[in-house]
Amino acid sequence: MTLSDLFPTLQPFVAHLVEVWPAYDIKANFAIWEVFHIVSVLTLGGASALVSLRILGVGLVERPIEETYRGVSRLIAIGLVATTISGLLIGMANAERLYDSAAFLAKFIALIGGIVLSFKVLGPVALNETRSATRLWAGLGLGLWALSVLVLATGGLVTPGLLHVLSAGSLIVLVAVQGRARWLYGAGCLAILAAMSVATNLLFKPEDMASIDMANIVLSGVWFVWVLGFAVVRGRAIMKDGGPSTFAQTIAYSQILVWVTAAAGGRWIAFA
């Protein structure tokens, strides 16, 4: 699914965008604006990930969650504004290509979902000020993230980009899980990756793409269940110790992964 599938009548407008100021100026210096966008995303991603990881019992655990959030909230706001502005500007300068890209649509939806989760939900969750409006915003943010994952999953050549989301999720769980469970979990992840490698390189011939695809889909599903299972077990342990609720933990995971989805979508624009 692409923007051109959803809004085919916009084609002339999109084709004209690059002739509008500031798009032609940005196109001439595209690399610099691209770097500005990457730095904005990593500012936002890094600052908000610290809060989310703290909710999951990782990082600045000696300090209250509120203190971590207050310490980086300005960075989150600056990152959000810079990401949105730079994203819109480089999008304008490259509009025709993005209009036909499933990876861009996934990135665009994830970006909006990420803004909702980082700006309207993470703060109240970190400050323990969750109200019904927060839950409504959370529903919207999570829905948009799910939609972006769906676009990526059904996007044909860009679908492998989903592996970034899965591997990022598995790494978050790896740092969140503690004790012997971490070794078991890590060994399971490595075994699944080894099985993927064997299936794609040894078990099936390179031209048998249908079988390779099926093996990757099945093993990715197994990996997802493995990661989710350990996340749930760890989540229960956190709550047992008087830590954040299931809702707060869900927001913490999704708030990081929505930005990973946006970054993965952004990178896969160049590949397919």
Partner 1 sequence: MGSLNFWGLLEGTHLISLMLFAGVMLVIDLRLMGVALKTIPNSVITRRLLPLVLGGFAIMVITGVALFFAKPLVYYHNIWFRLKIGFLVLAGLNILWFHLVLHRHQDQWDAQERPPTAVRLSGLASLTVWLLVIIMGRFIAYNWYECGKPQTAFINQVQACATSEQGAVAIEVAQP
Q: Which residues lie near partner 1 (CB under 8 A)? A: 31, 34-35, 38-39, 41-43, 45-47, 49-50, 53, 58-63, 67-68, 71-72, 74-75, 160-161, 163-164, 167-168, 171, 175, 196-197, 200-201, 206, 209, 212, 216, 259-260, 263-264, 267-268, 271
CB of 67 to partner 1, least distance (A): 6
Q: What is the DSSP letter of 63?
A: S
Q: Would you say 29 or 128 has its CB closer to partner 1? A: 29
Say how many C-beta atoms besides its own lie within 10 A of residue 224's C-beta. 16
| 3-state SS assignment for residue 270 | coil
Which helix (H) or strand (E) segment is 94 a member of?
none
Q: Would you say 116 or 262 has its CB closer to partner 1? A: 262
CB of 60 to partner 1, least distance (A): 5
Q: Would you say 101 or 134 has its CB closer to partner 1? A: 101
CA 67 to CA 123: how far, in whole Å? 11
CB 177 within 8 A of CB 253: no
CB of 221 to partner 1, least distance (A): 15
> Of the candidates 168, 18, 158, 180, which has an alpha carbon nearest to the alpha carbon of residue 101?
158
What six digits make up the tokens of 113?
């979902």
CB of 242 to partner 1, least distance (A): 20
Q: Would you say 75 or 239 has its CB closer to partner 1? A: 75
CA 253 to CA 49: how far, in whole Å? 9
Q: Would you say 42 or 140 has its CB closer to partner 1? A: 42
